[in-house]
Structure 1
Amino acid sequence: MTEPIVDETPTGRVGTPRLLLSNPVTVAGAAVLVVVLLIAVGASWLAPYGINDVDVPSALRGPSGAHWFGTDELGRDVFSRVLVAIQASMQVAIVSVAFAALVGVTIGVVAGYRGGWLDTVVMRVVDVMFAFPVLLLALAIVAVLGPGVTTTTLAIGVVYTPVFARVARASTLGVRVEPFVQVSRSMGTGHRYVLVHHVLPNISGPLIVQTSLSLAFAILSEAALSFLGLGIQPPEPSLGRMIFDAQGFVTLAWWMAVFPGAAIFVIVLAFNLVGDGLRDVLDPKQRTQAEARRSR
């Protein structure tokens, strides 16, 4: 009566981990993310050169054994700068999405559970925020607060909060009418207990998928803000800023733009692949189709 419905596994159904591992695309995406996380943790030790070690005589040299990704216009090692830039991007993405998830889920769950005027007011505010393009709203926040890592993280977190609020509210509206929730409330169980032990476990699936997808978009948003000069500030490297700096050297040093761009592409693609895989096993309809494909 009180157990979360998403934790119930019908007899004969394939377990979630096995179903995930049966999808080679998802496994490949997860493997890439593991490598990215290792880079994010140990970039400072993995980088063979200092990110701001200037060596003008070695400027604009192509990829070689000494410099795997070549050097930039100041002779700095592009490989080392890409590693540290990945670390910075992941830090911004993880913190900003964690902020968005915490605030957005809280707002969405409370609004969906209580309903009434509170739900109406909260969702109208969310709709107003949705009326602005994500990047435009982030640019406005950074322009007001000033560029930097902290403001970039805050801006990305704010613009993705409505996404989590909507997902959490929609899922809560479906769960709050379930019999086990109604019975628990009729027995006098406190609202906080119902939310924590009954509602949240049953809406975790869509939220996990949304988190994976939001991390991908957060990486893109940080790169875009840095490209425009409003994100991570020099001399700290960022993938977007490295692409901006490479604009004047595209014909002379293609590697200055290609490798940072490839890093963004690979990370975003990996997050999306993992998000699709999670959706296939956490969404009941998608899971049934995935199990049918696996049984063939």
Structure 2
Amino acid sequence: MASFADLPLRRRRRAAGAGTDVIQKAALVLAVLLAAAALLAPLIAPFDPLGQSLIARLRPPLGFERYSAGHLLGTDELGRDVLSRALYGLRLTMSLALAGALIGLLVGGTLGLVAGLRRGWAEDTIMGLVDMQIAVPFTLIALLILALLGSSMTVLVFVLGIAGWEQYARIVRAEVRRLAAQPFIEAARAAGGGTIYIARHHLLPNIVSPLVVQFTLALSNIVILESTLSFLGLGVQPPQPSLGSMVGLGRDYMPTAPWIVLAPAALIILLTFAVQILGDWIRDRADVRLRER
């Protein structure tokens, strides 16, 4: 029986492409379902995520003994419904990730545009800041900021927003430098177009694709960062649920009530998987060089 390596190159590419398409479609469906669950959390959550019932504490999910009616995924140490808290936690985690990615896009994109258009001290200063952030693990920076300024929601959004701005800045600067040497930019300058006009009408429309790709990839990184900070007790504070804080609060009950951790941990894995696959799919469609292979 012929192996996969013995097949002609075209057939191998077609078979590999078919498998990739299936994964990408599954990731798209998963992302839509997760987004719908987050948006509709107030409607589909069976219980109040903050409601406590000490009588029903640490009840297992459906199918186990001592199951409490209505609590499909069980209850936590305070008798709160795990499913309801996971849905609201997914809603908050996705909201924080979107806010952080948007802030990073605006800050990094603006600074990258300035670095690409302005030579001299402005470019050196911005790229120096980029190199500094790349050199130091951002988790340490986030822990320092939260320790100094507190773990309020405003500070948390700020920390998530500056988590990946340097990637946007590097991408925008490189694209602006590449486009600046193109004939249509020189023609726009010869026609009397100013820097702002050229940036708005000629540069920004041509760098949308790489920014969209980076935005999707940054989302999953911010989800993991928020979950890490909340797990350490420096992110979203109780009783407000987020996926990371649920895992952090439930880790002490892993030997006796693992369902408290499994539901939010599974959502973190599924969410990051879906976003990463979609980011790769967008990159494949946006990059002409990859489409031609």
Q: Indicate the SS of the match to 1:97.
A: helix
Q: Which residue of 1 aligns with 2:57?
A: 59
Q: Does 1:193 align with 2:197?
A: yes
CA RMSD of aligned residues (A): 1.5
Q: Deviations over 1:25-81 (max 9, x none)?
A: 222222222222222222122211011211122211111162121111111100000
Tell me, which stretches of 5 or more residues in structure 1 are unaligned? 1-18, 290-296
Q: Which residue of 2 aligns with 1:30?
A: 28
Runs of 4+ in 1 over 4 A off after TM superposition: none
8 Å Cα contact 2:163/2:222 also seen in 1: no
TM-score by length of 2: 0.88
Moved more, 185-194 or 100-109: 185-194
TM-score by length of 1: 0.87
Aligned equivalents of 2:160 and 2:264: distance in 1?
A: 20
Q: Does 1:278 align with 2:276?
A: no
Q: Which residue of 2 aligns with 1:84?
A: 88
Q: Does 1:258 align with 2:286?
A: no
Q: CA deviation at 1:119?
A: 1.4
Which amino acid letter does the alignment assign opposite residue 81 of structure 2?
A: D
Q: CA deviation at 1:287?
A: 1.7
Q: CA deviation at 1:231?
A: 0.6
Which amino acid letter does the alignment assign opposite residue 43 of structure 2?
A: W
Which amino acid letter does the alignment assign opposite residue 188 of structure 2?
A: S
The structure 1 residue matched to 2:44, chosen from 43, 46, 68, is: 46
Aligned equivalents of 1:30 and 1:99: distance in 2?
A: 24
Sequence identity (%): 37
8 Å Cα contact 1:61/1:72 also seen in 2: yes
Aligned equivalents of 1:148 and 1:85: distance in 2?
A: 17
Aligned equivalents of 2:184 and 2:223: distance in 1?
A: 39
Q: Does 1:224 align with 2:228?
A: yes
Q: Indicate the SS of the match to 1:23.
A: helix
Aligned equivalents of 1:72 and 1:117: distance in 2?
A: 55
Q: CA deviation at 1:269?
A: 0.5
Aligned equivalents of 1:91 and 1:267: distance in 2?
A: 13
Aligned equivalents of 1:242 and 1:210: distance in 2?
A: 28
Number of residue pairs matched by the alignment:
269
Q: Does 1:165 align with 2:163?
A: no
Tell me, which stretches of 5 or more residues in structure 2 are unaligned? 1-16, 63-68
Q: Which residue of 1 aligns with 2:238?
A: 234
Aligned equivalents of 1:261 and 1:272: distance in 2?
A: 17
8 Å Cα contact 1:40/1:84 also seen in 2: yes
Q: CA deviation at 1:277?
A: 0.3
Q: Indicate the SS of the match to 1:232.
A: coil
Q: Which residue of 1 aligns with 2:12?
A: none
Q: Which residue of 2 aligns with 1:208?
A: 212
